[in-house]
Amino acid sequence: MPPSSSSSLGMLLLLAAILSAGAADPDILTDFVVPNNADPSGIDGAFFTYKNLVTGNSGDPAKLTVTKATHAEFPALLGQSVSYAALVFGAGTVNPPHIHPRASELLVVVQGPLLVGLVDAARNGTVYTQTLQTGDMFVFPKGMVHFQFNNATDVVARAFSAFGSASPGTISLPAALFATSIDDAILDKSMNTDQTTVDELKQDQAPPSPAPSSSSSAAAAALLPQLCHQNKLEYSPE
């Protein structure tokens, strides 16, 4: 192998490391990206329009429903570094602690109140909570653990979240820990708890579901910040 190709391989690896550490959307060299299968001359207003963010969100009012408009649902967002989600929180439902590895999130409440929380791992796991009223906005910085909770017994809460990525990604901590094949012994030790508790948490998370049910997730959501704080866990994005 000539020296040049090994040094360019080194550069490539370095570049890959820098890009993944940044975990931001790549810049595009055109104003927008026409999908491979689309005819560029056929691009019109409809290409830049997405109609299902709100209409797609008429789910079960007793649950948490998250409707996304990322580049997967709305291809015109590819390369634009923005996306949206619409959230409808049934009474008593929680969006369990999670991170978005590639984007900050700017949430605006359109029907409050909604309790939100943010975990500051760099400050010993301090949890910043706030009860947001209709019209209030809250920012969840990129890669930080956060959650939302409708602490009402009878009314729905609604919010929209804007993201600084066309593909923010979501890693739900309860699911990542207890709905994957991490060995029980490792979870027991990591959580500093016993097999019975780990079994219960796994039971709560099974089967994995994109819109977790309120009761099971509430148990895990309540336990996790405590466990993580005790164990001084920090979460690294992908």
Ligand X SMILES: *[C@@H]1O[C@H](CO)[C@@H](O)[C@H](O)[C@H]1NC(C)=O
Residues of this chain that bind ligand X (CB under 6 A): 115, 123-124, 151
Closest distance between ligand X and the C-beta of residue 225, in Å? 11
Half-sphere exposure of 144 (CA within 13 A, CB side): 20
Q: How far apart are CA 85 and CA 52, in angstroms?
A: 11
Residue among 126 and 203 whose Cβ is closer to ligand X: 126
Closest distance between ligand X and the C-beta of residue 97, in Å? 13
Q: Other C-beta atoms within 10 Å of 93: how many?
A: 29
Residue among 129 and 180 whose Cβ is closer to ligand X: 129
Task: Print burial letters for 73-90: b (CB count within 10 Å at least 16), e (below 16).
Answer: ebbbbbbbbbbbbbbbbb
Closest distance between ligand X and the C-beta of residue 87, in Å? 17
238 is in an annotated binding site: no
Residue among 39 and 232 whose Cβ is closer to ligand X: 232
Residue among 145 and 187 whose Cβ is closer to ligand X: 145
- The size of the chain, in residues, is 238
Q: How far apart are CA 232 and CA 228, in angstroms?
A: 6
Q: Which helix (H) or strand (E) holds 20?
A: helix 3-22
Task: Output the 3-class SS for 51-115.
Answer: CHHHHCCCCCCCCEEEEEECCCCCHHHCCCCCEEEEEEECCCCEEEEEECCCCCEEEEEEECCEE
Q: How far apart are CA 195 and CA 189, in angstroms?
A: 10
Residues 6+ apart with CB under 8 A from 212: 64, 96, 172, 174, 175, 205
71 is in an annotated binding site: no
Residue among 78 and 115 whose Cβ is closer to ligand X: 115
Residue among 37 and 124 whose Cβ is closer to ligand X: 124
Closest distance between ligand X and the C-beta of residue 155, in Å? 13
146 is in an annotated binding site: yes
Question: Per the annotation, where are the binding residues?
Answer: 95, 98, 100, 105, 146
Please report, in range form, the residues annotated as the binding site for Mn(2+): 98, 100, 105, 146
